[in-house]
Amino acid sequence: MLKELKIGFLMMTVMTVITGLAYPGLITAIAQVVFPDQANGSLVSVNGQVVGSRLIGQNFTKPEYFHPRPSVAGTSGYDPTASGGTNLGPTSAKLFNGTTKLDDRQREVVDFDGIKDRIVHYCIDNEIPFESSRPLDAFRDAQGALDDVKLIKAFNEQQSPLTFTPKTPIPADAVTSSASGLDPHISPRNAQIQAGRVARARGVPLDQVQVLIAKHTDERTFGFLGEPTVNVLELNLALDVQIPRK
Q: pLDDT by residue (tens digit) across 181-201?
A: 999 999 999 999 999 999 999
Query: Residues 6 or more apart from 79 whose CB is under 8 A from it?
Result: 73, 181
What contacts 24+ positions apart, CB below 8 Å, involve 234-237? 234/44, 234/54, 235/66, 235/191, 236/60, 236/65, 236/66, 237/44, 237/46, 237/51
pLDDT value, residue 25 = 87
pTM listed for this prediction: 0.86
Beta strands in 143-244 (DSSP E): 164-166, 185-186, 217-218, 229-231
pLDDT value, residue 115 = 97
CA distance 156 to 100: 10
Report whether pLDDT(39) > 90: no
Cα angle for residues 202, 203, 206 (degrees, 5° grid): 90
Q: What is the pLDDT of residues 132-159, one digit of tens each?
A: 999 999 999 889 899 999 999 999 999 9
CA distance 197 to 206: 9
Query: Residues 6 or more apart from 70 whose CB is under 8 A from it?
Result: 77, 113, 118, 175, 176, 177
